[in-house]
Chain A
């Protein structure tokens, strides 16, 4: 905005707009800040009323998140001797001892493996399909594209019934491979749709020139189109990853033990006397903060994916 124009808002308007937007932003961020803060509270601080804004931080929530514990009689505790580590000491304060790691680590790793696995597959398949749709005459192109997009709109619960039966037959129920394939299929629609938009914007002349220079189609795709589409591919990958990371319905219905991801697991965390909110909040924090950081760092590239390609550059 270098040149002055009569349609440029006045300084006063900008101030009012700025204050209103910042006000809304702060209001909308309170629940997220509260999740992070609750993770560092002791259970009694977490349920204090009025809610405690200032509190002395504690790592109890995180210790409870990563360990399973058991209560011991005072004489057994005394027989154990002094606690050796800081987390032992926290747990001893509640007359308990650590009996081993909790499930959270495994669930988190499942999320990582399934998230990255399905992202890689859906971006790979999506890129080549989008290239074909963008550059070649594919019969029934519009119908295929619509079909691909509409698969993403399907209600997960409705799709889950036959997939549940099918996976049971194939032995894919509750396996990482099954979840990767499923998330890949769901993400493919978005990735084809978005990437087609990105590849459409690369001038076709570049490839034609490369072809004249003696490149094969494959080489032209590989050496000319791919580097140009890199930003688009990266932001598509972020979207696929976020979807797979956040997905709940399929995970809750199709996994129970070995392949369960974090979203269905976190709500089931309970403590000794009812819901252990600091541990839940700690689990949620570790799970949500990476996405928050991603969003803030990559904000320039995310817009188009959020709006389903409705927005050009």
Chain B
């Protein structure tokens, strides 16, 4: 720690103008020196590839046929993707996944945060234990969930039998068209509810106690306090959580590819998995690049809204 009282006193006594001059000329150099490597690396690994993707998206290039003549096809790839029934279906599967995971995670996450905020003894340890699933590798955990989902022997099916009496061999969460979209919703909710919970907890803790005290003096009921103080004050944080989970699940890949691989049929073929098939299995690089650009722009748009929401919360 820096606790030298002399330094402190000198600092306090220094007029800001002088301090400004001492910082002086070479600061500019240092600033550039410090920022340049980061910008360079991000340009090389993010922006250059992005520009390359945009260029590829206007051609019919195929990685597995490098000797084919590369033709410029204009926006043909975009036109084909945006009129393709299968792509549309894949985005609808993503929508189902998005809507239900966000709904469940916000409800459960907010409820948990609300309960933890009652500050019972040992709440921070239990909070940490709840957070554990989201810290782990989604691919490794998702792979193990296929074991829990096994019909006949899986722990999940045993649980369902225990609760409802259904025959554990009679259904397969990841093998049936009817159930597979829900199997990924369940695992994602299990994994990421803690994230929403933490954001909500931060929101609840940012509400000054004086607001509730004032409401108590006005004899406002607990129910009324919840709707007029708690919810409006926590709302920006909830928005943040929804946007962040929305972006993350829009590009969801690792967990679901290990759980269902997009199947059965194409019931859980989320956009990222669909894109991976186009790019790395069918090797239609030009077409896949156009697909990637569409996802880029969507995520970039959502990210701008997210950053706006984040700054709003930080200014509080």
Contacts and interface: CB of A to CB of B under 8 A. Distances in A.
Interface of A: 1, 5-7, 9, 13-15, 17-18, 20-22, 24-25, 28-32, 34-35, 38, 47-51, 125-126, 128-129, 131-133, 135-138, 144, 146-151, 153-166, 181-182, 184-186, 188-189, 192, 205-206, 208-213, 217-218, 224, 227-228, 242, 245-249, 252-253, 262-264, 266-267, 275, 277, 280-281, 284, 287-288, 291-292, 294-296, 299, 302-303, 306-312
B11 A21 contact: no
Contact of B41 (A138, A181, A218): A181
B28 interface: yes
Interface in B12-56: 12, 14, 18-19, 22-23, 26-28, 30-35, 37-39, 41-42, 44-46, 48-50, 52-53, 56
A51 B153 CA distance: 7
Most chain A beta-carbon neighbours within 10 Å: one of B26, B115, B190, B275: B115
Interface string B1-16: 1100001101110100
B137 A281 contact: no
B7 A213 contact: yes
B143 interface: yes
A129 B132 contact: no
B303 interface: yes
A245 B137 contact: yes
Contact of B35 (A50, A138, A228, A252): A138
B22 A212 contact: yes
A310 B202 contact: yes
Interface stretch (B67-75, B80-88, B118-126, B175-183): B118-126
Contacts of B247: 153
A251 to B, nearest CB: 9
15 contacts: A17-B115, A31-B145, A31-B148, A51-B154, A132-B35, A136-B27, A136-B28, A161-B49, A161-B53, A162-B49, A189-B42, A267-B140, A303-B202, A306-B195, A310-B310
A144 B120 contact: no
A212 to B, nearest CB: 6
Given A30-B155, A284-B140, A307-B198, 6 more contacts: A29-B129, A32-B132, A156-B253, A182-B45, A246-B140, A310-B240
Interface of B: 1-2, 7-8, 10-12, 14, 18-19, 22-23, 26-28, 30-35, 37-39, 41-42, 44-46, 48-50, 52-53, 56, 63, 108, 112, 115-116, 118-141, 143-145, 147-148, 152-155, 158, 168, 190, 193, 195, 198-199, 202, 209, 212-213, 216, 237, 240, 244, 247, 250-251, 253-254, 258, 272, 275-276, 279-280, 285, 288-289, 291-293, 295-296, 299-300, 302-304, 306-307, 310, 313-314
B23 A211 contact: yes
B3 to A, nearest CB: 10
A61 B316 CA distance: 52
Given A162-B56, A310-B314, A5 B213 contact: yes
A267 B258 contact: yes
Q: Determine chain B's interface SS by DSSP, over half rule.
A: helix
A213 B10 contact: yes
Contact of A129 (B26, B37, B124): B37
B41 to A, nearest CB: 5
Given A35-B144, A213-B7, A309-B314, A7 B216 contact: yes
Contacts of B303: 149-150, 153
Contacts of B143: 266-267, 280, 284
Given A13-B118, A25-B130, A147 B42 contact: yes
Contacts of B153: 47-49, 51
Given A181-B45, A263-B139, A158 B38 contact: no
B28 to A, nearest CB: 7
B120 A25 contact: no
Given A34-B155, A310-B314, A132 B30 contact: yes
A32 B144 CA distance: 9
B42 A185 contact: yes
B45 A287 contact: no
A226 B280 CA distance: 44
Contacts of B124: 299
A308 B310 contact: yes
Contacts of B155: 30-31, 34, 51
Contacts of A153: 247, 299-300, 302-303, 306
A17 B244 CA distance: 27
Contacts of B10: 209, 212-213
B234 to A, nearest CB: 12
A186 B49 CA distance: 13
Contacts of B275: 155, 157-158
